[in-house]
């Protein structure tokens, strides 16, 4: 994500620069296979990082730290992340 953010900032800059830039960015994200692949990859990484991060914050408050509760929280995170990645896929593709 850290190196991928480069693409996101580039597209953000392009989209705010001018009308043509905005249209170019919009067109790229709807038609270019490669751009959509990068976007989906980054959004998926972000979604997983987001849900795993929330799990960590929950654990910092002292929950889900035993063996079974920890495993359950980990599995839930994976399931929620997988679902959101698929939904993001539908949204992007």
Partner 1 sequence: MVTSITSFGRSGLYDWMIQRVTAVALAAYTIFLMGYMLFTPELDYQQWKELFECTAMRIFTLLALLSLAAHAWIGMWSISTDYIKPTGIRFLFQSACGLLTFIYVVWGIQILWGV
User: Can you give the binding site for partner 1, defined by CB under 8 A?
Assistant: 2-3, 5-6, 9, 12-13, 15-19, 22-23, 46, 50, 53-54, 57, 60, 91
Q: Which is nearer to partner 1, 60 or 68 (CB)?
A: 60
Is there a contact between 43 and 92 (Cβ–Cβ < 8 Å)? yes
Task: Report the distance separating Cα 25 and Cα 37, nearest Å.
Answer: 14
Q: Least distance (Å) from partner 1 to the CB of residue 79?
A: 19
Least CB distance to partner 1 at residue 16 (A): 6
CB of 81 to partner 1, least distance (A): 14
Q: Given the complex with partner 1, which of 9 and 67 has the nearer CB atom?
A: 9
85 closest CA partner among 35, 50, 53: 50
Nearer to partner 1, 60 or 66 (CB): 60
The answer to whether 73 and 64 have CB atoms below 8 angstroms apart is: yes
How many angstroms separate the CA atoms of 63 and 56, rounded?
9
- Cβ atoms 4, 42 nearer than 8 A: yes
Q: How far is the CB of 56 from partner 1 (least distance, A)?
A: 8
């Amino acid at each position: 994500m850290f190196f991928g953010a480069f693409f996101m900032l580039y597209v953000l800059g392009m989209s705010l620069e001018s009308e043509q830039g905005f249209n170019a960015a919009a067109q790229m994200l709807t038609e270019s296979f490669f751009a959509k692949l990068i976007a989906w990859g980054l959004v998926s990484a972000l979604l997983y990082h987001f849900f795993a991060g929330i799990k960590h914050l929950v654990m910092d408050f002292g929950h889900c730290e035993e063996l079974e509760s920890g495993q359950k929280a980990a599995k839930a995170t994976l399931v929620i992340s997988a679902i959101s990645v698929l939904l993001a896929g539908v949204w992007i593709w």
